[in-house]
Amino acid sequence: MAHPQKTQEASTEPEQTPEIREKVELARTFAFHLLKGIKQIGMYRHNDARFPEFLSKALESITQYTEKYGPLSLKVEQQNLTLHNDSLFTEDTPLPYKFFRDGIRQLIFRPGLAVEELVTFTMIALSEPERGAEDVLAQLWRAGMEHVEYVVVEGFSMENASEEEVQVEVDKVVGYLYARLQTNSDDYLRFARVSAEDLDAKLDGVEQIRGLVIGGRHASDDLKAKLQREVSEEEGARLFPKLVSAVFQVVEGGVEDGALLEEIFVQLLDMLLLQDDFGTINQIVLKLRALSQKEGGAPLEKLLESFLHKMGEEQRLMRLGESLKGSRPKHPADVTRYLQALGRDSVIPLLTVLETLEIQENRALLCDALAVVARELPEPFVARLISDRPQTVRDMVYVLEKSNHPDRIKMFGQVLKSPNLVVKLEVLNIIGRGRTGEARRLIFEALADPVSQVRMVAARMLPEFDRDKAFSDLMRLIREPAFDKKTPDERTAFYMAVGATGTPGALSHMQQLLTVKASLLNKKRVLEDKMLAIAGLQGACSIQSYKMLQALVEDRTQAVELLTAARKAMYQTRKTLFGDSALPEEA
């Protein structure tokens, strides 16, 4: 068993060279500004837009180091970060321990570190796993930062060696292996060929390795499943973006064979669609659009047009539909951006996809995207307003209404010819919100609809336009001989609509009906007319109508059923006018 040599006293250590001293000072400057930025972020945690500003000095410091000396490799200890055995933080901070307790022993910052990566690294350092956040190691793994690397050491146990001795030896082994990874040799497998001779020659204080025992537990099925999921997520979160980045490096380097490049992007598109990675596809579109706008970007503009056309082809949109059919997307905004990038030739396939979706949220997501196109191209949507499927009609009405097309009310007129009562009533309510002359015309025409429920809703909505004209139209229908043949509910609805106009003529008509004296021959008819007048006064819902109902209730010569109806109408009117503070209904 190898035994580490005793470390010499600090006084016997050789004096540092000027270059090493400069490296340490630059690293300390970075650590100082990083810690200062962390404190500022902690104070303004709600204002994430300023995080890059808080870390700008730290980014400037580390950029100065990496541009001059290359990657900055820091050793992680329990209470500090060190470089060449010199501590970097000049004050106590829990930041190093957060990395140390998860087994991270080295942090490497490579040249080209972006402010976004530094912000991400800082937010990971600020996270609190003890309060429910993921551990630091898992967060670093998921973040996949290109210019930030880390070296992790798990627990080791060696026979006949103390924990401190094992720590020293393991740190040296890790440092040696990392040095092998930094080689410039073309032999890219060199780092993997480690022999005992290598260790004997390179690792001071570690004579040999033998009798190494790795202690641990067998992985459970749950752990295996979790690791498999994480590997799958890693494949989607890091592998594909790196592959896309590699492809764009080739593009920016210049490719003469345009057909080959187009085929590469098509295969990349299909691969990402299979992974439901719409976010990366959107990034490809943005990158191509940015490159095409540069000087000499005409070939890339053609490539972008081809890529967008491929995105909107039927087989790929059907693949998108399969994804939306099963569950809600993890990132709906990415799907929306994908749909918004498509051209007009994708409308018909998307309408076909819409027919297959059952999850309401996914239908709404697709309809919202189609509404953008519907304003300029309403024909495909108008053609489906006469569909036999009620849900299709609802979706088309929703799309046209959201598109705010100037002629949408006229288009909705076709739906009123639908045999589906529920759809007709829904569309009638949408038309009623239009408050235009065309909308009023459709509402008035609905008064002659063969279905009584539609006529009742139309009557209720007509006073919301021109009240005087509504009173005139409704009274003309009431005076027609056919009105007496309608159902009691419909006649009541019409009288409530007349009262809702609130015109002097409406209240005068109700008062006239209430003052009629019944004779032996017309007693039943007069009672029915008075009941309708009470409904009209309730529909008026005003102080004047309330007083008229009150006067009727106080008239004890009226029939019992008439007084009961008047009390109920008076109670409802009082509740509407004065709210829940109104007195309870009288016995």
- 217-266, pLDDT tens digit by residue? 667 788 878 877 777 666 655 666 666 776 776 666 666 666 777 888 88
Q: How confident is the model at residue 303 (pLDDT cuts 50, 70, 90)?
A: confident
Tokens of 466: 């021109």
In what helix (H) or strand (E) does residue 134 lie, and over which residues does it extend?
none
Q: Given this model, what pLDDT does residue 164 score?
A: 56
In what helix (H) or strand (E) does residue 141 lie, and over which residues does it extend?
helix 136-143
Query: Whose CA is closest to 308, among 271, 340, 356?
Result: 340
Q: How confident is the model at residue 171 (pLDDT cuts 50, 70, 90)?
A: low
Is the pLDDT reported for residue 282 higher than 50? yes
Quote the DSSP letter at residue 434.
S
The mean predicted confidence, pLDDT, of the chain is: 79
Q: Which CATH code for domain 406-465?
A: 1.25.10.10
**Whether this model's pTM surpasses 0.85:** no
Quote the DSSP letter at residue 531.
H
Q: Given this model, what pLDDT does residue 29 score?
A: 92
DSSP letter string over 330-372? S-HHHHHHHHHT--GGGHHHHHHHHHH---HHHHHHHHHHHHH
What is the spatial distance between Cα 77 and Cα 167, in angstroms, rounded to a whole number? 11
Contacts of 158 (CB under 8 A, 6+ apart): 1, 165, 166, 169, 211, 212, 213
Task: Give me the phi and psi of 264, to 5 degrees please.
Answer: -60, -45
Tokens of 433: 């919100």
Compute CA distances 358 → 265, 371, 446, whole Å: 32, 19, 31
Averaged pLDDT, 520-533: 82
Q: Given this model, what pLDDT does residue 2 score?
A: 40
| Residues, the chain | 587
- Long-range CB contacts (within 8 A, 24+) of 47-55: 51/119, 51/122, 51/123, 52/115, 52/116, 52/119, 55/115, 55/118, 55/119, 55/122
Q: What is the dihedral angle through the alpha carbons of 448, 450, 453, 456, rounded to the nearest 10 degrees?
A: 20
Residue 464's Cβ-count burial label (10 Å; 0-12, 13-18, 19+) is middle
What is the spatial distance between Cα 93 and Cα 96, in angstroms, rounded to a whole number? 7
Give the largest CA-CA distance in the chain.
129
Tell me the residue type at 176: Y
Quick check: 112 and 83 in contact, CB under 8 A? no
Least confident of 225-239, 301-315, 449-463: 225-239
Q: How confident is the model at residue 13 (pLDDT cuts 50, 70, 90)?
A: very low
